[in-house]
């Protein structure tokens, strides 16, 4: 169980927000991160971009 909590916190870290963020803040952070790390802008960020999408999906669920 402890590992799961740490894993979820990492999603918040990926988006650069704290664990008390509301849905609006999560969405805003996601949009900011997507613009910054989109693979079309920077070819070396594909893995991070995938993590951003995963974080958003999990946190918005």
Q: Which pLDDT band, with edges at 50, 70 and 90, does 4 fall under?
A: low
Instruction: Please give the pLDDT value at position 34.
Output: 96
pLDDT at 8 over 70: no
Tally of domains within the chain? 1
pLDDT tens digits, residue range 16-53? 999 999 999 999 999 999 999 999 998 899 999 999 99
Residue 50's domain spans which residues?
2-60
pLDDT at 2 over 90: no
Higher pLDDT, 1 or 61: 61
d(CA 1, CA 49): 27
User: Residue 14 is part of a domain; what is its CATH number?
Assistant: 1.10.287.110
| Number of helical H runs and strand E runs in the chain | 3, 0
């Amino acid at each position: 169980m402890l590992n799961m909590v740490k894993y979820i916190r990492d999603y918040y870290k990926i988006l650069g927000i704290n664990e008390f963020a509301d849905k609006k803040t999560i969405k805003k952070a996601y949009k900011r991160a997507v613009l910054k790390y989109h693979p079309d802008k920077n070819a070396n960020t594909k893995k991070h971009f995938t993590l951003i999408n995963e974080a958003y999906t999990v946190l918005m669920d």
